[in-house]
Structure 1
Amino acid sequence: MNKTNKIFRHTARGLGILLVVLLIFVLLSPVLINMDPVKDKILTYLSEKTEGKLLYKKVDILYFPRPHAVIHQAIVSLPGDFKGKIARLNVYPAIFPLFTGDVRIKKLRIRTPNLELKLPLRENKRNEQTNTLLIQPVKKALIDSCKYFLANLPNTAIQIQNGSLTIYDESRSVFNFQNINAHTKISAKKIKIDLMGKSNLWKNIAVNGWINPQIFTCKGQVSVTHFSPKKLTD
């Protein structure tokens, strides 16, 4: 019993010290880290990665629970004909480089993104009668976007909350995905994905695995409920 109490006291003391250190860090962060140039560097970085196609209503700088920037009501366009609106984008840089004024993006939290993907025009469309033939251009667009993230956001974690994606063939909406919640981790060569969502193709889907878009290899588990293959032949 005495040994248990001693372990409990040491644990409580350690947690107390950790909380005090965290509180001191939060209180001193505005003094130790000048976030104004950091904010400018974050916006410049994101503008470069989106080729300058980033608009937003306002940007807030927060220090708790860790220094980060919050971009409100963003409108973004990405290579590969992706575009859309993001209600809130939290950008978390690595902490220690901030003390020297260096900005390295470590995490993005994307809340309520409503994205659109317009497939490229195809020359020989008159013989296409079903949505099945659209799978290849959709696949290519998604692989290209994965390659883009791999090249531009290495070693970055991305969290998506309540997202949606609509895929258009010219002006026709062919596939739509809703309630997308995902955690992804981008490493040097592959992207780890943990995703759940709904679609007009199925009721629910859960994906857990990784993809290497450079050589298009993937491994993982996919669970689908109420799949509607008829949507592919409409």
Structure 2
Amino acid sequence: MRIVIAECSVDYLGRLTAHLPLATRLLVVKADGSVLVHSDGGSYKPLNWMSPPCTLTEVAPSEDEAEEGVSNVWIVQHAKNEDQLRVRLHQVLHDSEHALGVDPGLIKDGVEAQLQALLAEHIHTLGEGYSLIRREYFTAIGPVDIMCRDAEGHTVAVEIKRRGDIDGVEQLTRYLELLNRDTSLAPVTGVFAAQQIKPQARTLAEDRGIRCVTLDYDALKGIDNAESRLF
């Protein structure tokens, strides 16, 4: 990755035209060929950019550009169309290159698998007397996140989502219809558990007799497990 901080102006030519007047900006040239132009505001979104595949060529400024104080010109040309990004650099304040290597990808905290593990460990969160049957309970149409029993010994199927929407309720409904055909499990009730549950999903779930539970991920992580304490 190449990182350049420079006083520059930028013009985008092609399917549309856009102009950024002279100012100090951050220019990012990534290994995949993309070029991004950032200001010191606007959060993560660049002011302008060229997506790959594209090539960057550095050329000397024209006479008119040199008279205006331009020291170098970047021409970023898209490989599949006529779109072009033209960056006129007046003064370069910083220019460095860094090999970042292969990125391992984004690892999210609080994803469904982690929520499932925490809720299974603290199954009493669903109610006093609840006990775990197993996680990832296999069915012919997919695994149920958690199967457990309530205080009366009735089977409960739990579907876990980070954000609960109507699709999640429909998924749990299909599981319940199938599970209730098994006389060794029936009657099976459902719990729809998520960090956030949309109002439409809650309405649909309650209409179908499915209980909704909002999960507090931080609280689940911080639950004191007496069995794991030495004192």
TM-score between the two structures when normalised by the length of structure 2: 0.24
Higher-helix-fraction structure: 1
TM-score, normalisation: structure 1: 0.24
